[in-house]
Amino acid sequence: GAGVSQSPSNKVTEKGKDVELRCDPISGHTALYWYRQSLGQGLEFLIYFQGNSAPDKSGLPSDRFSAERTGGSVSTLTIQRTQQEDSAVYLCASSLNSRRRGEDGYTFGSGTRLTVV
């Protein structure tokens, strides 16, 4: 597609429920990233996918968080047993394949605003 597409744009869930957030990167971008941004806070790295390589999961805050990327394209971020502190905007970004990750700027999607009540 022309840009990074994320869905849903807003999600309100009850504490303890599982949620799935979806990201469709720009066609041809092999690198995909998930970040989250809490109110008044900076962007917090969660996970990184590059082609068929094993993902870098070093930013996932707990084992309740997981992500997968199917066919090198669409990615799903799953949060199990949601907690109120999970409330944030979850941003997906993609970039061109680079010899070194972080070499290219990222293009962000419009984000999913998650509210856990």
Partner 1 sequence: QKEVEQNSGPLSVPEGAIASLNCTYSDRVSQSFFWYRQYSGKSPELIMSIYSNGDKEDGRFTAQLNKASQYVSLLIRDSQPSDSATYLCAVNIGYSTLTFGKGTMLLVSP
* Residues within the interface to partner 1 (CB under 8 A): 33, 35, 41-43, 45, 48, 56, 59, 91, 100-111
Rounded to whole angstroms, the Cα distance separating 34 from 36 reads 7
What distance, in Å, lies between the first and last C-alpha atoms of the chain? 33
Query: Which CB atom, from 17 or from 90, has the smaller least distance to partner 1?
Result: 90
Q: Is 99 helix (H, G, I), strand (E, B) or coil?
A: coil
Shortest Cβ 42–partner 1 spacing (Å): 4
Instruction: Report the 10 Å Cβ neighbour count for 61.
Output: 12
Query: Which CB atom, from 38 or from 81, has the smaller least distance to partner 1?
Result: 38
Query: Which CB atom, from 16 or from 51, has the smaller least distance to partner 1?
Result: 51
